[in-house]
């Protein structure tokens, strides 16, 4: 079942100070189905992250349609949806694993990962248990579970980020370079986790820096080309 | 679907007698709040927003932006020159600026909470920390000593104030602890709407983190709608789902917090975000 | 004071009751207003009297405005008819109100003016009790601005006062106010019932007699009308209690003079510097004593 359909998406940044319009991506179209992963590939600067951010509404799309279908059949154009709609969808339907972990300073890794479940109404103890399972599957050592991630290495932070993004099983999951800081072994663990999520019927759009992962995980590939900026 | 708890439209406040040129000669484009012709100060002009139950709305801006004034009007610390604010509570619709002083005080005591940047505005320094919280419970007609003690102790524990300090005067507390007593005091009546005005400004970083953590936990537990006023982008990013950006009394941009911070549309917002250390 | 002095009366233009008729009328109107709004501090034009402020001028003006030639007056100070202030006031009133009778017996009086005590003998509907008040506003300890106090009274917001009581319980496990106990009249206004002890506060509740309170220096009159609820401020789980007068062995002390164990006792030191207790209400004590003596004499 089709979860997301993007058509003619374009994003340009209007920088008032520099009096410049910087285009980021243009004429992007892609579709995404439940249980399938669509990969976005292209050289640096081709606007891959922008596409994900436009879908998540961190960026306001300059043009195009982003149609998201919910399980009950309701279709929303994310490009035009009002803020409360978007917040509602982010809570329940759309997840985003960003490149960098941003979280409250004092929360332990376990609580950071448990957070999305608690926000959905789960009991904290149960949420923590499932967070532990997730962290174990990503080979995060137990001695780190009670520690705040601020001092973790890049790879450790990324695994926390990934665990947090995957734990709540959103309908659509956006992944921006989820394995960038991971070594091959852990990268493989992450890939297996992603395969498992796919099997559960979650639709995913992902940017992978490693072509192997694209080959292994993607059911569909969209290629972007960099745009020439206009001064 | 969550419902609206607060609808603000056309909120304005001018200090001074005003003149026909006031609005045209003040604002972000003129980079001033002060009318060049009559000297009146346009602290707020045409501020409007909606707040939903259980939502955290951020208001960000620099000094003179009117962010604190907005909250002051809603908490009845000051009277607006124009505008309307509708508060939806328990199936009732309250037109806040049309209420008389007694009704406003009743809403303020029972249905709103406020945490000020300056603890001297929010706390009574002539009674103990527990006494401050007791005062708020007594204002909302709780008359049972044992219950007052129990609820005060619970809330102070939640805000991580040591139990043995409950009967001490807050004069002797650190800034962070005073803020925590204020938060406890504001929350003890379980208000559906809480205002936080620069609550972490001036506190040590570690204390700031603790308080932000506390605010989020409480928000999740009590589903309190909040308006968080700050000039600190980090606080906004951590707490608010949606944010208003204000400058010289006007709302110049409004949107999802991450969108405001990563894809700001207005020139001023872009400058503000780019200047963040 | 020269008891042979003839009151000039008609020649000088002094009215009956020393105050001119307009002054008395104004006080009476304030009294009526005070009765209509139980517990409300009614402002009035308090006159300068021939004694200093702080000596009962507020109570005095109430009495002078109300008393007539067919009234019987009793004046007490701390329960005693023969204390200096009581004597002065009584003589002044008798002098300026020719025809008024005086008594020490509570039951015989129609107007009773008192400082700091309510008589032990229950009052009747035919009597008026006038209490002398130094500071009428119970909120003055928590709020110095009169405007804000008025707002607090109007809105029935006594939370700051209750916090004071709360802090007392925290520190001492009980409310330590011993006199001037804040009392809520008719469910709204909280009054300072004047420096009467806690023992006397329950007498205000549903009193058959009208109780008037006058503060001369502060220029306020307030009232507890007959049969009006008067509840001391308490917490639901910390009840109001009166003085128990128990000695170290939990026995209720008795008056050394008449043996009463049901009246408010004053504490004195006798010539041997020992502590002794005596009824504060001298009329009550004397009546008990004379009844005992009659019983001793064989019929």
- SS3 annotation, A50-116: HHHHHHHCCCCCCEEEEEEECCCCCEEECCCCCHHHHHHHHHHCEEEECCCCCCCCCCCHHHHHHHH
Please report which confidence band the pLDDT of residue C89 belongs to, taking 50, 70 and 90 as the band edges.
very high
CB atoms B216 and A119 under 8 Å = no
CB atoms within 10 A of CB A26: 17
Rounded distance between C-alpha atoms, residue C215 and residue C26, angstroms: 15
pTM of the model: 0.84
Q: Taking Cα atoms as reference points, which of B77, B69, B75, B17 lies closest to residue B47?
A: B69
Of C39, C58, C59, C216, catalytic: C39
**Architecture category of domain B1-111+193-202+223-277 in CATH:** 3-Layer(aba) Sandwich (3.40)
Looking at every residue in chain C, the average pLDDT score rounds to 92
CB atoms B145 and C237 under 8 Å = yes
CATH code where residue C68 lies? 3.40.50.11310
Residue ranges of chain B that CATH labels 3.40.50.300: 1-111+193-202+223-277
Q: Would the pLDDT of A21 be above 50?
A: yes
Specify whether C158 is located in the same domain as C25: yes
What is the mean pLDDT of the segment spanning B189-197?
A: 93
CB atoms A104 and B242 under 8 Å = no
Instruction: Give yes or no for A59 touching B (CB within 8 A).
Output: yes
Rounded distance between C-alpha atoms, residue A7 and residue A5, angstroms: 7
Rounded distance between C-alpha atoms, residue A181 and residue A100, angstroms: 10
**Subunits that touch chain A (at least 3 Cβ pairs < 8 angstroms)?**
B
Specify whether C226 is located in the same domain as C251: no
B-chain residues near A102 (CB < 8 A): 237
Specify whether C123 is located in the same domain as C260: no
Q: Is residue C93 part of a domain?
A: yes
Specify whether C33 is located in the same domain as C75: yes
Rounded distance between C-alpha atoms, residue C105 and residue C231, angstroms: 28
Specify whether C163 is located in the same domain as C290: no
Rounded distance between C-alpha atoms, residue B176 and residue C293, angstroms: 73
Specify whether C164 is located in the same domain as C36: yes
- Residue A74 is encoded by which pair of tokens? 């309701």
Largest CA distance in chain A: 55
Specify whether C156 is located in the same domain as C23: yes
Instruction: Give yes or no for B139 touching C (CB within 8 A).
Output: yes
Query: Which member of C151, C157, C166 has the closest CB to residue B131?
Result: C166
| pLDDT tens sequence across C154-169 | 988 899 999 999 999 9
Please report which confidence band the pLDDT of residue B217 belongs to, taking 50, 70 and 90 as the band edges.
confident
Specify whether C152 is located in the same domain as C277: no
**CB of B191 within 8 A of CB of B110?**
yes
Q: CA of B167: which chain C residue's CA is closest?
A: C170
Rounded distance between C-alpha atoms, residue A63 and residue A10, angstroms: 5
Specify whether C97 is located in the same domain as C123: yes
Between positions 142 and 161 of C, the ones with CB within 8 A of B are: 151, 154-155, 157, 159-160
Query: Which member of B101, B139, B148 has the closest CB to residue C166?
Result: B148
CB atoms A83 and B258 under 8 Å = no
Specify whether C199 is located in the same domain as C162: yes
Specify whether C194 is located in the same domain as C259: no
Specify whether C138 is located in the same domain as C95: yes
CB atoms B209 and A60 under 8 Å = no
C36 included as an active-site residue: no
Task: Give the residue from C182, C208, C232 where a domain finishes.
Answer: C232
Considering its fold, how many domains does chain C have in total?
2
Q: Would the pLDDT of B1 be above 60?
A: no
Rounded distance between C-alpha atoms, residue B23 and residue B13, angstroms: 11
Q: CA of C233: which chain B residue's CA is closest?
A: B143
| pLDDT tens sequence across A156-195 | 888 888 888 888 888 899 998 888 878 888 888 888 888 8
Q: Is residue C129 part of a domain?
A: yes
**CB of A191 within 8 A of CB of A179?**
yes
Rounded distance between C-alpha atoms, residue A148 and residue C287, angstroms: 82
Instruction: Give yes or no for C290 touching B (CB within 8 A).
Output: no
Rounded distance between C-alpha atoms, residue A224 and residue C35, angstroms: 88
Rounded distance between C-alpha atoms, residue C24 and residue C43, angstroms: 14
Helix (H, G, I), strand (E, B) or coil at C206: coil
Length of chain A: 231
Q: Is residue C153 part of a domain?
A: yes
Rounded distance between C-alpha atoms, residue A23 and residue A14, angstroms: 9
Instruction: Give yes or no for B141 touching C (CB within 8 A).
Output: no
Q: Would the pLDDT of A93 be above 90?
A: no
Q: Which domain holds residue C298?
A: 244-299
Looking at every residue in chain B, the average pLDDT score rounds to 90
Instruction: Give yes or no for C173 touching B (CB within 8 A).
Output: no
Please tell me the predicted confidence (pLDDT) of residue A160.
Answer: 87
Rounded distance between C-alpha atoms, residue A21 and residue A231, angstroms: 7
Rounded distance between C-alpha atoms, residue A207 and residue A210, angstroms: 9
Please report which confidence band the pLDDT of residue C9 belongs to, taking 50, 70 and 90 as the band edges.
low
Q: Would the pLDDT of A62 be above 80?
A: yes
Q: Is residue C17 part of a domain?
A: yes
Q: Is residue C30 part of a domain?
A: yes
What is the mean pLDDT of the segment spanning C175-185?
A: 92
Task: Give the residue from C232, C254, C287 where a domain finishes.
Answer: C232
Task: Give the residue from C232, C261, C288 where a domain finishes.
Answer: C232
* Beta-strand runs (E) in C61-173: 72-77, 101-102, 111-115, 128-132
Rounded distance between C-alpha atoms, residue A125 and residue A110, angstroms: 11
CB atoms C159 and B135 under 8 Å = yes
- Residue A178 is encoded by which pair of tokens? 């989820």
Q: Is the dihedral of CA C73, C78, C84, C85 positive or negative?
A: negative
DSSP A228: P
Q: Is residue C187 part of a domain?
A: yes
C97 included as an active-site residue: no
Distance of CA C13 to the CA centre of its chain: 32
């Amino acid at each position: 079942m089709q979860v997301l359909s993007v058509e003619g998406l374009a994003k340009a940044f209007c920088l008032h100070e520099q009096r410049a319009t910087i285009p980021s991506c243009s004429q992007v179209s892609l579709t995404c189905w439940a249980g399938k992963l669509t990969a976005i590939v292209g050289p640096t600067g081709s606007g891959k992250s922008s596409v994900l951010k436009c879908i998540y509404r961190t960026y306001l799309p300059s043009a195009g349609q982003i149609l998201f279908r919910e399980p009950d059949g309701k279709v929303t154009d994310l490009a035009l949806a009002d803020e409360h709609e978007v917040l509602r969808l982010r809570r329940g339907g759309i997840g985003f694993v960003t490149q960098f972990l941003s979280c409250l300073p004092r929360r332990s890794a376990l609580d950071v990962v448990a957070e999305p479940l608690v926000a959905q109404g789960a009991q904290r103890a149960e949420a923590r248990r499932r967070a532990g399972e997730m962290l174990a599957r990503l080979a995060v050592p137990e001695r780190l579970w009670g520690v705040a991630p601020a001092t973790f290495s890049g790879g450790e932070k990324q695994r926390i980020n990934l665990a947090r993004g995957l734990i709540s099983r959103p309908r659509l999951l956006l992944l921006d370079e989820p394995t960038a800081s991971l070594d091959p072994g852990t990268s493989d663990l992450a890939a297996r986790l992603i395969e498992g999520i796919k099997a559960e019927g979650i639709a995913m759009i992902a940017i992978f820096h490693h072509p192997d992962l694209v080959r292994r995980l993607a059911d569909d590939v969209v290629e972007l080309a960099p745009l020439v900026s206009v001064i | 679907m969550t419902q609206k708890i607060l609808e603000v439209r056309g909120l304005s406040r001018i200090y001074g007698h005003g003149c026909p040129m006031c609005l045209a000669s003040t604002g972000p484009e003129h980079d001033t709040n002060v009318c060049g012709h009559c000297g009146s100060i346009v602290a707020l002009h045409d501020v409007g927003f909606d707040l939903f139950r259980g939502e955290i709305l951020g208001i960000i801006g620099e000094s003179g932006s009117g962010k604190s004034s907005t909250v002051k009007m809603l908490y009845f610390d000051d009277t607006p020159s124009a505008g309307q604010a509708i508060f939806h509570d328990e199936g009732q619709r309250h037109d806040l600026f049309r209420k008389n002083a007694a009704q406003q005080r009743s809403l303020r005591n029972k249905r709103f909470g406020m945490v000020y940047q300056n603890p001297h505005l929010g706390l009574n320094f002539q009674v103990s920390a527990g006494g401050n919280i007791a005062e708020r419970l007594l204002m909302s007609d709780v008359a049972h000593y044992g219950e007052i003690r129990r609820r005060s102790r619970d809330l102070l524990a939640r805000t991580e104030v040591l139990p043995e300090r409950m009967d001490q005067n807050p004069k002797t507390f650190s800034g962070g602890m005073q803020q925590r007593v204020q938060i406890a005091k504001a929350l003890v009546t379980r208000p559906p709407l809480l205002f936080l005005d620069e609550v972490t400004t001036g506190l040590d970083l570690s204390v700031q983190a603790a308080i932000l953590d506390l605010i989020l936990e409480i928000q999740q537990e009590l589903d309190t709608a909040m308006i968080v006023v700050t000039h600190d982008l980090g606080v906004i990013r951590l707490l608010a789902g949606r944010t208003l950006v204000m400058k010289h009394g006007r709302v110049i941009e409004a949107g999802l917090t991450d969108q405001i911070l990563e894809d700001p549309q207005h020139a001023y917002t872009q400058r503000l975000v780019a200047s963040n250390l | 004071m020269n008891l042979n002095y003839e009151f000039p009366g008609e020649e000088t233009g002094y009215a009956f009751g020393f105050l001119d008729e307009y002054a008395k009328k104004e006080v009476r109107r304030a009294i009526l207003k005070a009765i209509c709004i139980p517990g409300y501090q009614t402002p009035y034009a308090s006159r300068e009297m021939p004694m200093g402020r702080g000596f009962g001028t507020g109570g005095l003006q109430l009495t002078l405005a109300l008393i007539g030639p067919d009234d019987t007056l009793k004046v007490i100070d701390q329960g005693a008819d023969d204390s200096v202030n009581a004597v002065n006031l009584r003589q002044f009133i008798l002098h300026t109100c020719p025809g008024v009778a005086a008594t020490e017996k509570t039951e015989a009086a129609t107007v009773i003016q008192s400082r700091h005590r309510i008589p032990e003998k229950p009052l009747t509907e035919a009597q008026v009790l006038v209490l002398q008040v130094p500071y009428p506003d119970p909120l003055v300890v928590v709020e110095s601005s009169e405007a804000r106090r008025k707002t607090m009274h109007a809105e029935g917001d006594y939370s700051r006062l209750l916090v004071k009581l709360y802090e007392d319980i925290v520190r001492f496990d009980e409310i330590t106010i011993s006199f001037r106990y804040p009392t809520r009249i008719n469910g709204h206004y909280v009054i300072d019932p004047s420096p009467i002890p806690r023992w006397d506060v329950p007498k205000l509740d549903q009193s058959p007699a009208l109780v008037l309170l006058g503060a001369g220096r502060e220029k306020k009159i307030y009232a507890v009308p007959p049969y009006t609820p008067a509840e001391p401020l308490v917490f639901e789980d910390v009840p109001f209690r009166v003085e128990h007068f128990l000695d170290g062995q939990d026995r209720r002390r008795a008056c050394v003079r008449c043996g009463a164990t049901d009246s408010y006792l004053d504490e004195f030191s006798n010539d041997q510097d020992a502590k002794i207790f005596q009824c504060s209400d001298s009329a009550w004590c004397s009546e008990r004593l004379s009844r005992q003596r009659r019983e001793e004499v064989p019929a």
